[in-house]
Structure 1
Amino acid sequence: MSRILWDCREISTPFLPQLHTHEENVAWFLGDLMPENQVWVAEQDGQVVGYIGYREGWIQHLFVHPSMQGRGIGPLLLAKAMASGGQVELWTFQQNTRARRFYEARGFRPVEFTDGSGNEERAPDVRYLWSP
């Protein structure tokens, strides 16, 4: 999962800084993401190619390796998080037009725009909401 996050930052969102090492990312996955959220992975040939971390009403992380994007993995992972049928929120970066198109095509709507001062990347972001 750390490799997917790293590669997505390098390839899909090069405007974002790499703030953490692989080791720091792994520690975050093990210490925060996984204990506090349900985490599901998508695999191909025994390799993790995507993952989602979510709890009721909130998507914390959804990443698909850049080489695997456009193959239906993201929608399947997102559907898992939305299976409860309740309202769902998430953040993404304003510059991440591919992610924004992805969420908007699935009925998410932007409800808050920020200047990025509240995230560690200091990049403008947008909060999305999906309601049944």
Structure 2
Amino acid sequence: MSHPFRIATSEDYPKIMEIWESAVKATHDFLSEADFKYFKEVIPRDYLPNLEVYIIFENEEITGFGAVSENILEMLFIHNNSRGKGFGKILFQSLKDKTDFTKVDVNEQNPQAIGFYEKMGFKQIGRSEKDSSGKKYPIIHMGL
């Protein structure tokens, strides 16, 4: 089964944020309500327009998105209703083929994501106490 894959436009942002919200609620229970609101605001405003964002579909419906900046996989999110069906792997592979990234930063408090990237061949290469926004969410730096 083919999964269409294309670069997102600003018209896709509301759907992208819906996916982000459903994925974050399912996997990031450590995120405070205030920080959730903060990211919900800054991602479409400050992040998405400056990244090459790709989206993946199933039956015309966007099921996930990912973004790469230089050689870092900045985001990879799958809608909670579509998790566990291999979309993450397909999206990961499509992004890898397109951009050839070698690094990813993962929230230490999201063991599912760490496990996923380990399966994809990544190893831990470092750790930071805070995320890139300076918030107190420890980050695991992973590399191929």
TM-score, structure 2 as length reference: 0.75
Q: Where in structure 1 are there 5+ consecutive unaligned residues? A: none
Contact 1:2 1:26 in 2 (8 A): no
The structure that is helix-richer by fraction is 2
Q: Percent identity?
A: 19
Give the AA of the match of 2:24. Answer: R
User: 1:75 aligned to 2:89?
Assistant: yes
Distance change (3 Å), C-alpha of 1:99 and 1:123: same
Give the AA of the match of 2:123. Answer: R
Distance change (3 Å), C-alpha of 1:114 and 1:2: same
- Give the 5 Å matches for 1:1-132: 1-18=16-33, 19-21=35-37, 25=40, 28-29=43-44, 31-83=45-97, 86-116=100-130, 118-130=132-144
Distance in 2, matches of 1:104 and 1:20, equals: 26
- Superposed CA RMSD in Å reads 2.4
Q: Report the 3-state secondary structure (helix = DSSP H, G, I; strand = E; otherwise coil) of the residue aligned with 1:59.
A: strand
Following superposition, the deviation at residue 123 of structure 1 comes to: 1.1
Contact 1:87 1:129 in 2 (8 A): no
Following superposition, the deviation at residue 70 of structure 1 comes to: 1.2
The total of aligned residue pairs comes to 128
Contact 2:51 2:69 in 1 (8 A): yes
What whole-Å deviation, never above 9, does each CA across 1:57-112 have from its counterpart, x for those lacking one?
11111000122111111111111221157451111111211100100011111111
Q: Report the 3-state secondary structure (helix = DSSP H, G, I; strand = E; otherwise coil) of the residue aligned with 1:116.
A: coil
Distance change (3 Å), C-alpha of 1:2 and 1:118: closer
TM-score, structure 1 as length reference: 0.81
Distance in 1, matches of 2:76 and 2:40, equals: 15
Q: Where in structure 2 are there 5+ consecutive unaligned residues? A: 1-15
| More off after superposition, 12-21 vs 91-100 | 12-21
Distance in 2, matches of 1:4 and 1:32, equals: 17
Following superposition, the deviation at residue 36 of structure 1 comes to: 2.4
What whole-Å deviation, never above 9, does each CA across 1:7-55 have from its counterpart, x for those lacking one?
2222211111242549x736632x4333322211122233221100113
Give the AA of the match of 1:14. Answer: D
